[in-house]
């Protein structure tokens, strides 16, 4: 297996720059998991694919306004930082109280340990200086193993990220949506992610109500999305790619809902690759076997799912179209087969689907 095996061609104009309006009007490619051609629908048609007794499980993590702008204290040179997670073993959660963060910075080469930085809402808004407004002093105190920086914040006001930061949109989206909530799911609850769990962006309150009325269950987990969402696999051999830790929590109510669904013969349909990682991390850690109950759990996941992986809890998947050579594309390939998935991607390109975070969706059942 080579990383190049997970490459495909996408015309740049099919990278979605704006979200669908309304959310559930996006297109939906339905791909049978084992055999049969893909079918083309609208996302609201998911109601016709799920069945009473099925359970949808989604990631309720909320994106932090983790992109900061400022200037070097000594030279006035412009600085940009993307906060990934607090240093150490603290879960991301609320930023308040976490004073040292792992971050990606620009320009990286010139920002060394000891560099003082002033972040501000003024710099966030694109002004050349740092006048009145929300201001936050910080200092670079070290490097991370992946070439990022450790940034210590001095006496931050609370809630400081809401006052200083903006949502960290992926680099292929060139303009922020007028409403920042369009880069949050409608059920986002727990702050902590550096990117949105984008498969869930297609759901609306109206559609969630319709699913419940159809007898489809709904449960949530939390996984705070970090660096690997932003980083393609660079190594020729993907098995040498270092997966980075992401904090997750599978609550007792969700474990109970999954156990009840499995016992009754229903399907566990997972919303998004991040939710897959939570369920399969816990199932692997607990060595879950048929007839065994899933237990609630929380911690750090470094699970890398690629072809050959044995899924224990994922019966179906709602997902977006992922970047070439990415760990996310490898995860979906593990579920449906690499050749079958890439053939479906080629079909979606030919049919004019919109790709990536604000793009269309796929349902694998």
Cα–chain-centroid distance for residue 29? 20
Structure confidence by residue, pLDDT tens digits, 218-277: 999 999 998 766 677 889 999 999 888 899 999 999 999 999 999 999 999 999 999 999
- Give a yes or no: residue 106 inside a domain: yes
3-state secondary structure of 136: strand
**What mean pLDDT comes out for the span 328-353?**
97
Residue 354 sits in a domain of what CATH number? 3.40.1780.10
CA atoms within 13 A on the CB side of 206: 7
- The domain boundary, picked from 164, 199, 224, lies at 164
Nearest to 170 by CA among 193, 186, 203, 202: 193
Task: Let me know whether 360 and 214 are in one domain.
Answer: yes
Nearest to 101 by CA among 154, 169, 164, 151: 151
- The domain boundary, picked from 139, 164, 189, lies at 164
Task: Let me know whether 327 and 242 are in one domain.
Answer: yes
Q: Over 60: is that where the pLDDT of 167 sits? A: yes
Q: Over 60: is that where the pLDDT of 128 sits? A: no
> Picking from 108-112, 326-330, 357-361, which range would have the lowest pLDDT averaged per residue?
108-112
Alpha-carbon gap, residue 326 to 15, rounded angstroms: 16
Task: Let me know whether 335 and 274 are in one domain.
Answer: yes
Would you place residue 129 in the very low, low, confident or very high pLDDT band (cuts 50, 70, 90)? very low
Structure confidence by residue, pLDDT tens digits, 83-102: 888 887 766 654 455 688 88
Residue 150 sits in a domain of what CATH number? 2.40.10.240
CB neighbourhood size of 11 (10 A) = 9
Task: Let me know whether 108 and 188 are in one domain.
Answer: no
For residue 148, the enclosing domain spans 67-164
Task: Let me know whether 57 and 71 are in one domain.
Answer: no
- Give a yes or no: residue 249 inside a domain: yes
Task: Let me know whether 94 and 37 are in one domain.
Answer: no
Number of domains comprising the chain: 2
Structure confidence by residue, pLDDT tens digits, 28-67: 999 999 889 999 999 999 999 999 999 999 999 999 998 9
- Give a yes or no: residue 116 inside a domain: yes
**What mean pLDDT comes out for the span 163-174?**
88
- Give a yes or no: residue 16 inside a domain: yes
Task: Let me know whether 293 and 201 are in one domain.
Answer: yes
pLDDT at 326: 93
pLDDT at 244: 83
- Give a yes or no: residue 353 inside a domain: yes
- The domain boundary, picked from 117, 134, 164, lies at 164
Task: Let me know whether 189 and 320 are in one domain.
Answer: yes
Q: Over 50: is that where the pLDDT of 127 sits? A: no
Contact between 264 and 211 (Cβ < 8 Å) = no
pLDDT at 278: 98
- Give a yes or no: residue 171 inside a domain: no
pLDDT at 126: 52
- Give a yes or no: residue 235 inside a domain: yes
Structure confidence by residue, pLDDT tens digits, 297-331: 999 999 999 999 999 999 999 999 999 999 999 99
> Picking from 34-48, 122-136, 343-357, which range would have the lowest pLDDT averaged per residue?
122-136
Task: Let me know whether 116 and 96 are in one domain.
Answer: yes
Task: Let me know whether 264 and 350 are in one domain.
Answer: yes
Task: Let me know whether 71 and 56 are in one domain.
Answer: no
Would you place residue 125 in the very low, low, confident or very high pLDDT band (cuts 50, 70, 90)? low
Q: Using CB atoms within 10 A of its CB, is residue 134 exposed (0-12), middle (13-18) or buried (19+)? A: middle
Task: Let me know whether 239 and 312 are in one domain.
Answer: yes
- Give a yes or no: residue 173 inside a domain: no
Q: Over 80: is that where the pLDDT of 14 sits? A: yes
């Amino acid at each position: 297996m080579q990383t190049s095996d997970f490459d495909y061609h996408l015309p740049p104009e099919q990278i979605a720059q704006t979200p669908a309006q309304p959310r559930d009007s996006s297109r939906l490619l339905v791909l049978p998991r084992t055999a049969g051609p893909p079918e083309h629908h609208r996302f609201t048609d998911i109601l016709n694919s799920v069945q009473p007794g099925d359970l949808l499980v989604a990631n309720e993590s909320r994106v932090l306004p983790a992109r900061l702008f400022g200037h070097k204290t000594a030279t006035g040179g412009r600085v940009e930082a993307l906060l990934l997670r607090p240093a150490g073993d603290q879960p991301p959660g609320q930023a308040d109280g976490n004073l040292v963060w792992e971050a990606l910075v620009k320009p990286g080469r010139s920002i060394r340990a000891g560099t003082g930085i002033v972040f501000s809402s003024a710099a966030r808004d694109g002004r050349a200086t740092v006048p009145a407004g929300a201001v936050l002093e910080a200092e670079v105190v070290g490097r991370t193993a992946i070439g990022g920086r450790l940034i210590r914040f001095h006496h931050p006001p609370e809630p400081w990220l809401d006052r200083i930061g903006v949502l960290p949109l992926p680099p292929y989206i060139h303009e922020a949506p007028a409403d920042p909530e369009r880069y949050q799911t409608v059920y986002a609850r727990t702050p902590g992610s550096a990117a949105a769990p984008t498969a869930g962006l297609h759901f609306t309150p109206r559609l969630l109500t319709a699913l419940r009325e159809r007898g489809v269950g709904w449960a949530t987990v939390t996984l705070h999305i970090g660096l690997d969402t932003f980083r393609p696999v660079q190594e020729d051999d993907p098995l040498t790619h270092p997966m980075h830790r992401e904090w997750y929590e599978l609550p007792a109510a969700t474990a109970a809902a999954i156990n009840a669904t499995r016992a009754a013969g229903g399907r566990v349909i997972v919303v998004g690759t991040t939710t897959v990682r939570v369920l399969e991390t816990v199932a692997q850690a607990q060595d879950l076997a048929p007839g065994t109950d899933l237990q609630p759990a929380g911690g750090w996941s470094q699970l890398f799912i690629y072809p050959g992986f044995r899924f224990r809890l994922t019966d179906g998947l709602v997902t977006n179209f992922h970047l070439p050579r990415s760990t996310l594309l490898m995860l979906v390939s593990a579920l449906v087969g690499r050749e079958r998935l890439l053939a479906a991607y080629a079909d979606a390109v030919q049919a004019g689907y919109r790709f990536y975070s604000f793009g269309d969706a796929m349902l694998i059942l």
